[in-house]
A and B are shown apart, each in its own frame.
Chain A
């Protein structure tokens, strides 16, 4: 079983909730709880995304419109960081109720900054009180004209992806019930909604940019990408798209169910993320076929990437491919692992050593049960069985040596603490703190080339060449 430490560092339901709400541009997520509950959630997300409200404390020549009010930032609710304010509850609030603090916080927040959406999330302890707080949130929302979404229960110790999915669903449902979403008329031609990218993805901006680029080569526009810093205006027009694309199905199940129940927009789902030229091409062709669009230019783009990959592989490996000793290990959600396995093992011919699917029911299983098939991983298992690599799913990622390791910086640091011969490639939060200025991606053609670059350099650093 993967070590307790590694299991503990994966995010939980409430992180998913916050990341979904944070993924609406210019939203504020207010935690109704003590400041302790606030301080972590803001640390990790959207480090490379440009977000004006994170500019604060700027004066004189640098005073930017839209930057967070300095006094508000220094207040008891923000406590110095622009992300995820809290109501700063104390012990007495847990006896006498939290409404006074909540009202004060909401009132200050909406008075001092123009937010597009207010998300109020009950902290785990506060949710135990079962207080009725919706009337207060609603009153402030009516007063300020800013729509709200209330998450009453953070569902203790549950899966982050479920938290994300259920919150995106809740956002859409709440806005729809409040009459904020526009009617399903005036469709935009060849436009798609993109579900499954989230503000807690390490390269969310680069991912979105690459998918947009590929689709625009086919004359397709992204109408709205909920949870990936879409604006409220884009959300309002969500029913105007021609197709709903569900990347990372484990992040979209509830949302998809909802969208299918309230609209007739057809769904397009990728069981594996479009990583590597083959899956990228399937993705592009699939969408174009649904929309009657011409994939020609995108296929050309993918072909150029294929050529570049061919050249590098032929030159660096002498045409023999990688040696059997050169292995990789990876962790992440099922659709990410499936995409990565298809590219690294299926396309580049690199055998895996260990896979650790995250956010599945295996996380809480006993030693014997841990490597049993989890229902969220059907596609991944099938793919690995087809590639003859399914044994990697029964290997403990926390014990690997001499591999390229795709995962969070926690896992990389942990494995490095006992094995010097690891080349880590960060693919998820929490990160090492490296600041990405150039938008990066693991998806599409750009992602294929970036991953290959890491593989080839990693191979040299691991001294795994022939």
Chain B
């Protein structure tokens, strides 16, 4: 038999639990009491105040292969086994997680096995999943609620019933109420009224008595101190009832409205008559469990103790009954699949992806290994693919110093700052001068604070930048990138003594694309011809030294510009007075020409700029001449997922006849912000476009969304061309794109492989 004792904090659960354990033991039961309160004082009266070693403390300090159950098991009065789960220090970690970990330990070591009765003394309330562990079906078969007649104690008791109902809507596992008197006014009546309202018996009524205090001073239970006392008799009676088999009841708590009526002193009948409130509450419960069986259970269970079952329970019969009435399985409609737009990636990874771009800094992930392995492999995937596809090693995607604290379960429970400190000091010892610490969800949830460590490292001459992508609150990959960009922009840029007048900074390059380096080489070629060098790439294949010296360059260029880009730009402008060029990294002829003209003007290199433009104009016009022979006058339809200025310019220059240009609709409520395929409007948008193809019969279809092209067959049109919205940098990039179209236009080779669908289905479906 396993028994859980729940109740409001300070109500006397531990005293009740200990006396109950002692009474059961005196009747011959082999009893184990497990205290589930970080205060670890539940079993004190049984073991007479021995020094306690809690399960969690033990797990934390003992290597797994040296752990023995006997090390945490104390023997108390009449051989009662005493265990305290323990927990983190107040304000740290996650105590609920600690309870779960303790129970895992107890199971792994089969600690419960030798005992005929286990009593769980559980902290205050079912405040979180961890403290609900004893209520799980494999643990407590009977649950007692300890309450006095005080309002808060009764509220807590009702709340515990709500918790039990949520966790086990169909179960009948409440033994009843233990009324622990505080000697206040009409409390007895209140407790009995409450018991009646929730359909539970009062199993024991414990009077307020000085004897409890006397026994406590001796670190004993009353059973031990004075077995013949009136109070001891009550516990012995309860223990006998337990041995003989308790009647158990479903949890049937009062709704908020009913509790209000109850506290106002309304009669039980009046409270229960508020069926509207009750049924509303039932509906809420039903939404957490199995609707059908839960509502059946509540109709029968509320205020109807005669429906109670005896121990051992009749679970299996109930299960069979339930299976019989379960409706035949039928396919259901999907819930609104777009009701909550997904976030792309995770913040930790976004931050790490950027942080590793600072090659002379160490990145210290404060995370479980899974997060870091995920991040590390995400970064290196570009490096691996680059090596395979192009035979090039891209330094940007080979992290240099990337260590991780490998947060363990113990760190999650007790806090992992000390672990992070060890790692950071080891990095400092290796001579690392800059550490970018990126903290993941787990330290966020358990409340790790690295700021004191940052100060300690500063005193050793090491700068630590903390990017707090912790707690899932930070959201997506972009949010993590934003935090890393902003932290380094605000904290790592230092004042400089001298300017390098022929230099420029490049800000906000795409960190996760192989194309970034290609674009950079094109930009460098343009800059070189103008006699300008790149001072700092913020943040792509860069160094902390370059970031520290960001202010040396008189101007900066945004590689791309979106909401985050503008925020970063604003930091540089407002905090440091930086000046930025108009626009972004130029793509296509027109943008490149304007960019070079502006550079020439700002850097006093007008003549060089003019020559450069003349050179590229000749190349561009020559390329256009050849392409026009094929494309001039072609009727084109375009489907674009976003802005694409270069295409408009190219279409003009090639004299294409753009008969329709289509952009998917935006829905601010459901806009995922990164891929139209996941928007609710996608299907309608595609259908409209395909209908237009049928109607207008174009010569060419260009789309930035490959999925549209796979649908074109249904519009009776083949040979659509995929275009990347984001082409390469420089004067000739749009021309390069159009050159690729040449080979595709007019080709409609279907491929006979499609005829083998039947064979595939035969073998694999």
Q: Which residues of A contact B (CB under 8 A)?
A: 4-5, 7-15, 34-37, 39-41, 43-44, 50, 52, 57-62, 64-66, 71-72, 74-77, 79-80, 88-91, 94, 97, 99-101, 104, 107-108, 111-112, 124-125, 127-132, 135-136, 139, 142-145, 153-158, 364, 409-410, 412-414, 416-417, 430-434
B385 touches A433 (CB 8 A): yes
CA distance A433 to B168 in the complex (A): 47
Q: Check if B384 sits within 8 Å of A430, measured CB to CB.
A: yes
* A72 contact from B96, B337, B342, Cβ within 8 A: B337
Q: Which residue of A lies closest to B168 (CB)?
A: A135
Given A35-B343, A90-B472, A410–B384 Cβ distance below 8 Å?
A: yes
SS class, residues of chain B in contact with chain A: helix
Interface centre among A11, A108, A124 (most CB of B within 10 A): A124
Q: Is the CB of B377 within 8 A of A410?
A: yes
Bound CA–CA A143/B332 (angstroms): 11
At the interface, yes or no: B97 with Cβ under 8 Å from chain A?
yes
Q: Is the CB of A74 within 8 A of B678?
A: yes
Question: Are B764 and A52 in touch, CB under 8 angstroms?
Answer: yes
The chain A residue sitting closest to B103, CB to CB, is A130
A413 with B346: in contact, given A61-B713, A61-B757 (CB under 8 Å)?
no
Q: Is B401 an interface residue (CB 8 A)?
A: yes
Whether B754 and A128, one on each chain, are in contact in the complex, defined by CB atoms closer than 8 angstroms, is no
| Chain B residues, Cβ within 8 Å of A409 | 384, 387-388
With a cutoff of 8 Å between Cβ atoms, the chain B residues found around residue A61 in the complex are 713, 754, 757
Interfacial chain A residues near B48, Cβ < 8 Å: none
Number of A-B contacts (CB under 8 A): 254
Given A34-B346, A64-B760, A11 and B373 contact (CB-CB distance below 8 Å): yes
- Residues of chain A with a CB closer than 8 A to B340's CB: 76, 88, 90, 101
Chain B residues with CB under 8 A of A74:
337, 677-678, 682
CB distance from B587 to the nearest CB of A (A): 26
| A433 with B388, Cβ < 8 A, contacts A12-B369, A36-B347 known | yes
The interface residues of chain B lying within 8 Å CB-to-CB of A410 are: 376-377, 380, 384
B334 with A108: CB separation less than 8 A: yes
Q: Does B400 contact A (CB under 8 A)?
A: yes
B476 close to A (CB within 8 Å): yes
In B334-363, the 8 Å CB interface with A consists of 334-335, 337-349
A71 touches B334 (CB 8 A): yes
CA distance A433 to B514 in the complex (A): 14
A410: shortest Cβ distance to chain B, in Å?
A: 5
In this assembly, does B707 line the interface, its C-beta being within 8 Å of a C-beta of chain A?
Answer: yes
Determine the chain B residues whose CB is within 8 A of the CB of A154 once the complex forms.
Answer: 368, 370
Asked whether any CB of chain A lies closer than 8 Å to the CB of B575, the reply is no
Stretch at the interface among B76-84, B130-138, B485-493, B535-543: B130-138
Interface centre among B99, B376, B765 (most CB of A within 10 A): B376
A88 neighbours in B (Cβ, 8 Å): 340, 342-343
Checking A44, A76, A79, A135 against B289 with a beta-carbon cut-off of 8 angstroms, the contacting residue is A135
Instruction: Give B331's nearest chain A residue, CB to CB.
Output: A111
B138: nearest chain-A partner, CB-CB:
A134
A60: chain B residues within 8 A (beta carbon): 713-714
A139 touches B289 (CB 8 A): yes
User: Cβ of A4: which chain B residues have Cβ within 8 Å of it?
Assistant: 401-404
**Which listed residue (B128, B132, B342) contacts A76, Cβ 8 A?**
B342
Tell me which residues across on chain B come within 8 A of A433, comparing CB atoms. Answer: 381, 384-385, 388-389
Q: A59-B714, A156-B442 are in contact. Are A432 and B384 (CB under 8 A)?
A: yes
Q: Is B167 interfacial (CB 8 A cutoff)?
A: yes
Verify A431–B384 contact, CB threshold 8 A.
yes
Contact mask B305-331 → A, CB, 8 Å, 1/0? Answer: 000000000000000000100100101
B333 within 8 A of A: yes
- Answer whether residue B100 sits at the interface, using C-beta atoms and an 8 A cutoff: yes
Q: Is B56 an interface residue (CB 8 A)?
A: no
Asked if B442 and A75 make an inter-chain contact with CB atoms under 8 angstroms apart, the answer reads no
Q: Are A8 and B402 in contact (CB under 8 A)?
A: yes
> Which among A125, A153, A417, A430 is the interface contact of B445 at CB below 8 angstroms?
A125
**Does B119 have its Cβ within 8 Å of any Cβ on chain A?**
no
* B342 pairs with A132, CB closer than 8 A: no
CA distance A5 to B471 in the complex (A): 25
Given A79-B678, A409-B387; A71-B337 close (CB under 8 Å): yes
